[in-house]
Chain A
Amino acid sequence: MFASLAVRYKCLPMSGDKAAIRGWTRTQSRLGRQAARPVIIFGLLSSLLGVGQAWCVATVLGQGLIGFVSGAGAHPHDLWPVFAFAGLAFVRALIMALSDTAAAKAGINARRRLRGEVLASILTGGPALLRKTHSGELTTIAVDRVEALDGFFARWVPASILWFAAPLLILVPVCFVQPHAALILGLCGAAVPFGQAVFGIGAAVASRNQFLAMTRLQARFLDRVKGIATIVLAGRADEETQRLGQAADELRQRTMKVLRVAFLSSASIDCAMVLALVVIAITDARQAMALLSGGASPALAATLTGGLFVLLVVPEFFAPLRSMALAYQDRAHAQGAATAILDLPAPAPRPSPEGARTVNASGVTISLEDVCFTWDPARGPALDHISFTVPAGETVILAGPSGSGKSTIMELLLGFIQPDSGSVRLNGAPLESIVPDALSRMVSWIGQKPVLFAGTLKDNILFARPDADEDDLMAAVKAAAVDQFLPSLPEGLETRIGEGGFGLSGGQAQRIAIARAYLKNAPILLLDEPTAHLDPATEKSVFESLQRLALRRTVVLATHSAAAHMFNGRRVDLQSGCVVARQGVA
């Protein structure tokens, strides 16, 4: 049980990665702070305006009370504090709206930047990334993980400055009005980070202890729902429902264990605020009582107004601390995202190797010389000293069971991976010395299941060469026999296919891939089990189209279909990464 858990979670950050995560968070905070500068300035202004308003209110109430005490019922009231209050309120509302907007903008800009970086990373990593990471997971990183970072930039980053800057700023006027109240507020305020730290660490420890179990239980629900048909048809729905109920209950108990400690940290803010309120109310009241014996003296008025002012300022003082506590979970999200993002390769454009070059594009000879490649050392080499040559314009069939290394050879030829030793050469030039753009211009590739992008059929074919004109397009459509099934589509070439569009059969999809290859007209054609998912009749007609496409091109065809004999070419038999037989002179 524990062993399997360890296997399951070995992808989680180990202590060595923690520094990387911290570094990432720090870099992002620095970038975020620049964007959050308006939010911070507006936040400080808003606090100051709040202090001003409190002063206005305290003045009005203080004058009223003093007037009441001195018995002068018709004491002339100043109207200015009331209208000053209203004016300040207006400005403050405006500033709050500006601050909210600026925060949203900071979050949006940061997400735009990060999403761009993540997508660039994914494109840099290329197909080799899909071996390690599920495509759904990568999509989640680029879409949802980045989306969840909004709070980090819009709330946490400004809050991480404001939580100490705003209370300190508020303390200045308080200090002028009532130094002893400033001291009380300052002490209570200082206790908050202390409490936060103590309980925050406690919560972190608690959540570290619970984290694995929580993740596992959450993933379990999603997984079971995805496989619900399998469960129902196996007749295990009731057992699984029950087990799910238990898992959900366990999840609750574990979450509550974390929250019990985490809520203490917000309770510590409540505690500090209540303490400040009560102590200030009592000390000021005592002072006022003492001064009362002297009648309505200016000192009494000052104490009263000052006391009311400080009481009104207390919530303002603690508001930034509260926002920080609320934004703390946004920081946790950022760390989660950091783990996922740091796993991606650095988003650098592939460096063009020294002396990069292009290769004469017509008539390419492919040769593999003593190539070795290992995906996972635990499983042994995927390719073990493979050598063969495909002369220009000829075809080599790679045969062998699944896992024998056919796909690995394809990935090498596509330049998705580099050999551990040995070399892959095109017309004698090592593959890694060829500019990626030039390589992609020379190679057409058709896999088991072509990816059809969301868009029209025409867009999907033009994907191979967006600047192709109508004649080229129609020629490719005809050559790939796409025109044979066009009449069955509702809108012909303009039919929307892919995600959320019209579904095409496997054979039809493969014809689109062939049309792409015609349109691209590259000298090398790599075919990776192009008929693996087709029935024999379709397979035969797809192979016929491929034969026409293969004319005068250098072709590598990986297949274990018996129908491959239609291609008259050399044949290389692979088994567990070794060449076991050759036919023709390969």
Chain B
Amino acid sequence: MSNPDQHTRTTHARAGAPASAVPALTDCQAILRILALWQKQAARLITGIMLALMALGLGLVLMQASGLRLASSVLGEVVITTALLRWVGGGRIILRYAERLFAHDAMFRALADLRVWFFHSLAQGAAAGLGFRRAGDMLSRLVSDIGTLDGLYLRILIPFACACLTLPILVLQLGQQSVALAGVVGLLFACSAFLVPYLIARSGRAEGERLGKNLASLRIGVLDLVGGLREIRAFGAEGRILAHVQADDASLLAGQMRLARRAAYANASAFLCGQVAVFLVLLAAIGVFSLHVSPLAAVGILFLTVASFESAAALTRAGLQSGAMGAAARRVVEVAASTPETVQASTQTDAPEDTHIHLEDVKFRWAPDRPLVFDGLTLDIPQGARVAILGPSGVGKSSLAALLLKAAAPEAGSITLGGEEISHIRAASLRRRIAWLSQATHLFDDTIRANLLLGRPDATEEDLWTALEEAAVADVVRTLPDGLDTWLGEGGIKLSGGQGRRIALARTLLTQAPILILDEPATGLDAQTEQDFLRTLNNVTKGRTVILIAHRLTGVESLDRIWRLSGGLATAAAA
């Protein structure tokens, strides 16, 4: 039995909303959490940064050396040799290439780790419940969030590290000539590299959030337009809907324009900082304001100043992106962080052989602010029984499946399998005993074969065809040009809804789980096929416990017990 706090966390994460029970993370904390996850790649990531620093250093030296080489010639001496210049130049090219290659490789490794971690945490935690709520869109947004995070290392961390190195070099070099000049130029550099990006990041955050909302409402508008094409055509509403979507589009674009304008001014001010620095160096070279610098040194520091400020320009862009990056990190960390089940892992056992299911006085609701789905539900399903649970949609039939599979936890009451509390049974072990065909069962963008093998990875060709035969879809698969190797496409779109459901059913039948929960398995079948199919089901599931969830019976099912769900209770109906 999980405690109420855990329960809150699970349901909230499932709904995709920021969990109120989990202290809200700041962007900064979320980014630190992501960085902590990248520890395994730390060596590579740091090497990438080192290479970037070295490449930058050589870049600064190259610019300075070229200037000095020319300037020193008037003194009749060669301060910078041709060979040195060549080495610095060649080194700069090679280091820059190596840096790019290495940094990208490290970043892809880190992203791969992040993806695997994200998937793993989802699978450990709230994920099971996702099938009961349509959260596909939220998930795809999270997937693109992970993609966004590639900028964290390449576009923020590396330029930041480079700026941190440039500042002391610049100040030290200038300091040898004039401390006052070094101080002022250092300050200007800090303004350009740190202050302006920070300010633009801060001011961009509010605007960024608004942009996010505008983009979301545009997306909803377009989804409505696309999903409602039939309604729109049937009601002749093309013009009205288009105007509506374009209004959303206009407010998004206006927001982007505001942000772009602000970014343009930030860029210009960062540029001006650099120009003021060069201006001061020039004044020093002339000897104004008692800032006296020798002409040769003036050439060196001038070239250095120009090159340094150029490298700082990348940080203004980083500041602009940091808001989006922080928000992406927050969403990814928050969703994946709610892993309530791992807490009890130590005390859990494997599922017993006996498959007698018993629910006693179960109370359940999806969220504290939602009404009770079950209020004292009691059910008894003996081993090998074939039972039906009936009720209109929305009465909690799917919630029952979620409870049995530990995708959700009851508020009160007990659920036992073979006499063992299921909260004490390891989820993975429990789920190996119970196969579930839900309304939202996902067909993967893969071959029919791969989809079926998810049910039983070691199934033979013959097993696959038997399962397809039993699910009354073998004929359809046989007519496909590639047979079992036909690619299903996203969400199984290459088959009709009914055919897709039957493939999913075949996958469920293929498992060797002793308990099958079939949630409306005959949806999308016509009356005759449905009856044939249910008759087949009577034969193929011999010896297994079958829990058939439906809103009505056709009369051909052979059942041991029938319950009707209503008002949070189950009442026995005639078998």
Contact = CB atoms under 8 A, between A and B. Distances in A.
Given A96-B267, A499-B224, A248 B111 contact: yes
Contacts of B92: 270, 274
A240 B119 contact: yes
A571 interface: no
A66 B100 CA distance: 42
A69 B74 contact: yes
B253 A93 contact: no
Nearest to A69: B74
Contacts of B23: none
Contact of A251 (B112, B123, B447): B112
B105 interface: yes
Contacts of B245: 119
Most chain A C-beta atoms within 10 Å of own C-beta, residue among B116, B287, B491: B116
Interface stretch (B24-32, B353-361, B524-532): B524-532
Interface in B266-297: 267-269, 271-272, 275-276, 278-279, 282-283, 285-288, 294-296
Contacts of B299: 61, 65, 308
A68 B225 contact: no
B151 interface: no
Contacts of A14: none
A44 B491 CA distance: 51
Interface string A560-583: 101000000000000000000000
B298 A289 contact: no
Contacts of B78: 285
A228 B285 contact: no
Given A101-B264, A112-B253, A267-B96, A232 B75 contact: no
A271 B93 contact: yes
Shortest beta-carbon contacts, A-B, top 9 = A229-B131, A227-B442, A104-B260, A440-B236, A248-B112, A100-B264, A401-B526, A535-B551, A89-B275
A445 B230 CA distance: 9
Nearest to B132: A229
Interface stretch (B45-53, B138-146, B165-173, B198-206): B138-146
Given A60-B282, A245-B112, A4 B485 contact: yes
B163 interface: no
A344 to B, nearest CB: 11
A96 B268 contact: yes
Given A68-B74, A77-B287, 12 more contacts: A57-B282, A82-B283, A86-B275, A123-B242, A221-B115, A222-B143, A240-B119, A267-B93, A304-B74, A499-B220, A500-B220, A506-B393
Given A230-B441, A236-B454, A274 B93 contact: yes
Interface stretch (A126-134, A204-212, A479-487): A126-134
B381 to A, nearest CB: 18
A8 B112 CA distance: 24
A328 interface: no
Interface in A271-330: 271, 274-275, 277-278, 280-282, 284-286, 288-289, 292, 300, 304, 307-308, 311-312, 315
Contact of A229 (B112, B276, B407, B528): B407
Interface string B510-536: 010000000000011111110000000
11 contacts: A3-B482, A8-B487, A85-B278, A93-B268, A126-B229, A226-B442, A230-B441, A252-B105, A259-B101, A308-B70, A498-B224
B521 to A, nearest CB: 15
Query: Chain A contact residues (Cβ within 8 angstroms of B): what range?
Result: 35 or more
B215 interface: yes
A226 B431 contact: no
Contacts of B298: 61, 64
B260 A402 contact: no
Interface stretch (A28-36, A356-364, A449-457): A449-457
Contact of A402 (B63, B101, B294, B496): B496
Interface string A522-540: 0000000000011111100
Contact of B69 (A96, A126, A137, A282): A282
A264 B96 CA distance: 10
Interface in A87-135: 89-90, 92-94, 96-101, 104-105, 108, 111-112, 115-116, 119-120, 122-123, 126-127, 129-130, 134-135
Contact of B253 (A108, A123, A284): A108
A403 interface: yes
A414 B234 contact: yes
Interface in A245-268: 245, 248-249, 251-252, 255-256, 259-260, 263-264, 266-267
A252 B41 CA distance: 14
Contacts of B128: 229, 232-233
Contacts of A232: 123, 127-128, 431
B194 interface: no
Interface in B292-314: 294-296, 298-299, 302-303, 306-307, 310
A470 interface: no
Contacts of B524: 402
A119 B223 CA distance: 11
Contacts of B72: 285
Contact of B444 (A85, A92, A119, A224): A224
B121 to A, nearest CB: 10
Contacts of A112: 249-250, 253
Given A229-B131, A308-B70, A463 B260 contact: no
A139 B223 contact: yes
B66 interface: yes
Nearest to A59: B282
B138 to A, nearest CB: 10
Interface of chain B: mostly helix, strand, loop or mixed = helix
A424 B90 CA distance: 76
Given A138-B226, A225-B143, A447-B230, A111 B253 contact: yes
Contacts of A158: none
B238 interface: yes
A281 B140 contact: no
Contacts of B428: 235, 237
B282 A229 contact: no
Given A82-B286, A119-B225, A221 B302 contact: no
Given A119-B225, A263-B97, A241 B235 contact: no
B108 A116 contact: no
A65 B295 contact: yes
Nearest to B504: A230
Q: Which of B76, B227, B482 has the most CB of A within 10 A?
A: B227
A19 interface: no
B405 interface: yes
A100 B70 contact: no
A436 B239 CA distance: 13
A474 interface: no
Given A112-B253, A228-B139, A308-B71, A499 B223 contact: yes
Nearest to A440: B236
Contacts of B219: 139, 143
Contact of A278 (B66, B108, B119, B267): B66
B218 interface: yes
Contacts of A415: 233
Contacts of B176: none
B498 interface: yes
B256 interface: yes
Contacts of B481: 378
Contacts of A162: none
A378 B481 CA distance: 10
Contacts of A404: 526
A244 B112 CA distance: 9
Given A135-B227, A228-B123, A230-B442, A281 B69 contact: yes
Given A65-B295, A232-B128, A402-B525, A101 B261 contact: yes
A402 B275 contact: no
Contact of A248 (B115, B303, B497): B115
B233 A288 contact: no
A256 B220 CA distance: 36
Contact of B482 (A7, A85, A278): A7
